Every structure is written in structure tokens, then in C-alpha cells.
């Protein structure tokens, strides 16, 4: 183990949806721990801005265009990452989306879009990145779940189904790839202020205070607050942790 078990110097991290919100918060945290970052997202302007923020830490970063529901786009993004940095050691499957309505009001194409982005996407990206991490002699994968991996809600049936699936997908990959020295874990974020939850609060403004009241730490989280757990799960400090789902939620899930 390295002298500092949290040191990520020399490691390359591929982060889907790394151009904002929680993905960028984790990208900056990993960069500060020494990693080079590949921001893999669709929105080019957001991606350029995110790369600049990561480079401001002194780390190397590139942006690659990646749609996680398109295997061809993923293959091209992975190839660009390997060409730029020589390989990949860390994958964070962070991209996500939602559609909020009662089950009876959800159009079939919206159901498919949410499940494809949140569940099939991590499968397709993991499948494409796995050989690269294996080639490096092992590494780390983090899948981003949700409180909706544990609970459900009447307005979140496709989202909760996808995020529940992420926990099981994490366990399956952890078992499959243990032989390759690859640890696979999930982080289950609580309620954190980002574009996604901003859209939620526009629909249900009264829930901001209700959620804070229900949270033992009595507040919402900020995007950088996933970074510590992400650095731990991407570093040698977590070498005996695999298949786990770690809540970073101010205690929301214990109540
Ligand atoms: P944001 O809306 O800020 O980020 C979502 C990210 O997903 C964007 O970077 C977006 O990239 C990317 N994305 C969406 N669809 C695709 C796609 N098809 N291909 C590639 N990238 C895509 O929200 P958050 O930061 O809040 O969400 C990040 C993750 O955290 C999600 O998985 C979400 O479900 C999860 N989460 C968030 C919580 C919160 O409280 N904020 C709580 C629990 C879980 P682009 O802009 O390029 O489209």
C-alpha cells in the first residue's frame, strides 16, 4: 500500500456526467487526490467549463463526448481517454436522469429513457471500460445510486427501479471482477443541491424544508460532499471493500 493510502497520483478516472453536479464534485475531489480526470458527458459547453475547474486544481483533465445509452459513443470516448492518458484505472458511473409522474401517467418512452440512462448506461460503460481497468492490473468502479435505491416514491417509479437495480448490478460486477482485482461499490447520495434536484424543487418547493427536517444533520448536501467517499472508494484505502453501498446522506436513510 502507498504511504498515503488515499493518494491517487498516476491514476486515470473516467467519470460519466462529470460536467456538473455530483460528477464534477467527485472529479475535483479525485483530482485533488492526484488523479487525471476524463469528463465524459454530452453537453460540450458544460464539459469545457468542468475541465477548466478540474485543471484549476493543478490536475490533468480532458473532456470527451459520451452518450451512455449509445455503445458507439462510449467506445469512442473510452478510446480517446486511453489515447490521452494511456489507460483507465477508475470508472464512476454517475450520469443519471429522472421523470416524475405517477406510474399510470408515465409514457413508455420516458420509462425507457430513465431505465436506459440510469441502469443500461452503467452496464454499457462498465462493459467498455472493464478491459482497460483489467489491463492496468485492477482498479475501482463506483456506481451512483440514490436514496431511491432503498426507498420508493409514487412519482419516481422508473428512477427508483433503475437505482434499486444499480445496487444489484454493483454486487454482480463486484463478484464477477474480483478475480481481476477490481473493486465495485456504490454510493447512495442523499438530497444534494444540483440541477437535477433544482428541477425537483421547482415542482415541489415545499419539499426542501420537509427533507431537511427529516434529515438528522438537518440540511441538504452540497455537490463536493460526495468527494471524500469517492476518493476512499477509488484508493488503496478501500482495497477490502467491494459490493458495498455506502449512503452519503446526512443520515436520511437511518430514519
Ligand atoms: P445533474 O443533472 O447535475 O447531472 C446529471 C448528469 O448526467 C449530467 O452531467 C448529464 O450530462 C449526465 N447525463 C444524463 N444523461 C446522460 C447521457 N445519456 N449520457 C451521458 N451523460 C448523461 O444531476 P446530479 O449531479 O444531481 O446527478 C448525478 C447522479 O447522482 C445521477 O445519477 C443522480 O441520479 C444521482 N443522485 C443525485 C442526487 C441529488 O440529490 N442530487 C441524489 C441521489 C442520486 P449532460 O449535461 O452532458 O447531459
pLDDT single digits (tens) 38-56 = 999 999 999 999 999 999 9
Strands 36-41 and 245-248, by their bridges, are unpaired
The span from the CA of 251 to the CA of 221, in Å, is 11
Ligand 1 pocket, 192 CB below 6 A?
Answer: yes
Class of domain 12-250: alpha beta
pTM for the whole structure: 0.98
Write the CA distances from 24 to 31, 71, 171, 191, integer angstroms.
10, 23, 25, 16
Please identify, by atom number, the ligand 1 atom nearest to the C-alpha of residue 67. 19
> With 90 as the cut, is the pLDDT of residue 245 above it?
yes
CA-nearest residue for atom 39, ligand 1, is: 192
User: How far is ligand 1, taken at its centre, from the CA of residue 3, in Å?
Assistant: 34
Q: What is the mean pLDDT of the chain?
A: 97
Percent of residues, the chain, with pLDDT higher than 90: 98
- pLDDT score for 219: 98
Q: Would you give the distance in Å from CA 225 to the centre of its chain?
A: 13
- What's the rounded mean pLDDT across residues 150-159? 96
- pLDDT score for 208: 97
CA-nearest residue for atom 46, ligand 1, is: 43
Task: Among 37, 46, 96, say which to mutate for ligand 1: greatest number of ligand atoms within 8 Å of CB.
Answer: 96
> With 60 as the cut, is the pLDDT of residue 218 above it?
yes
- pLDDT score for 7: 98
> With 90 as the cut, is the pLDDT of residue 1 above it?
no
> With 70 as the cut, is the pLDDT of residue 135 above it?
yes
Structure letter (DSSP) for residue 224 = G
Q: What is the pLDDT of residues 94-119, one digit of tens each?
A: 999 999 999 999 999 999 999 999 99
Ligand 1 pocket, 143 CB below 6 A?
Answer: no
- pLDDT score for 10: 98
The span from the CA of 156 to the CA of 172, in Å, is 24
User: How far is ligand 1, taken at its centre, from the CA of residue 249, in Å?
Assistant: 17
The Cα diameter of the chain in Å comes to: 55
Q: Among residues 130, 159, 204, 252, which one is catalytic?
A: 159
- What's the rounded mean pLDDT across residues 225-246? 98
- pLDDT score for 178: 98
174 exposed, middle or buried (CB, 10 Å; 0-12, 13-18, 19+)? buried
- pLDDT score for 2: 54
User: How far is ligand 1, taken at its centre, from the CA of residue 173, in Å?
Assistant: 22
User: How far is ligand 1, taken at its centre, from the CA of residue 20, in Å?
Assistant: 8
Amino acid at each position: 500500500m502507498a504511504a498515503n493510502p488515499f493518494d491517487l497520483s498516476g491514476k486515470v478516472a473516467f467519470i460519466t456526467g462529470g460536467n456538473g453536479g455530483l460528477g464534477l464534485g467527485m472529479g475535483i475531489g479525485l483530482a485533488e487526490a492526484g488523479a487525471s480526470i476524463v469528463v465524459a458527458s454530452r453537453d460540450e459547453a458544460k464539459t469545457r467549463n468542468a475541465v477548466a475547474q478540474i485543471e484549476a486544481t493543478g490536475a490533468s483533465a480532458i473532456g470527451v463526448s459520451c452518450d451512455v445509452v449509445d455503445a458507439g459513443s462510449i467506445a469512442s470516448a473510452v478510446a480517446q481517454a486511453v489515447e490521452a492518458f494511456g489507460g483507465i484505472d477508475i470508472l464512476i458511473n454517475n450520469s443519471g436522469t429522472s421523470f416524475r409522474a405517477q406510474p399510470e401517467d408515465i409514457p413508455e418512452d420516458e420509462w425507457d429513457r430513465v431505465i436506459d440512462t440510469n441502469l443500461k448506461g452503467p452496464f454499457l460503460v462498465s462493459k467498455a471500460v472493464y478491459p482497460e481497468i483489467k489491463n492496468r492490473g485492477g482498479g475501482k468502479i463506483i456506481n451512483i445510486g440514490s436514496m431511491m435505491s432503498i426507498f420508493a416514491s409514487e412519482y419516481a417509479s422508473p428512477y427508483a427501479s433503475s437505482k434499486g437495480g444499480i445496487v444489484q448490478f454493483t454486487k454482480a460486477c463486484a463478484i464477477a471482477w474480483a478475480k481481476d482485482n477490481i473493486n465495485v461499490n456504490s454510493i447512495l447520495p442523499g438530497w444534494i443541491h444540483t440541477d437535477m434536484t433544482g428541477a425537483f424543487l421547482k415542482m415541489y418547493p415545499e419539499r426542501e424544508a420537509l427533507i431537511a427536517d427529516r434529515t438528522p444533520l438537518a440540511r441538504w448536501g452540497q455537490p463536493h460532499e460526495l468527494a471524500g467517499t469517492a476518493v476512499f472508494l477509488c484508493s488503496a484505502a478501500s482495497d477490502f471493500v467491494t459490493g458495498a453501498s455506502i449512503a452519503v446522506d446526512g443520515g436520511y436513510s437511518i430514519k
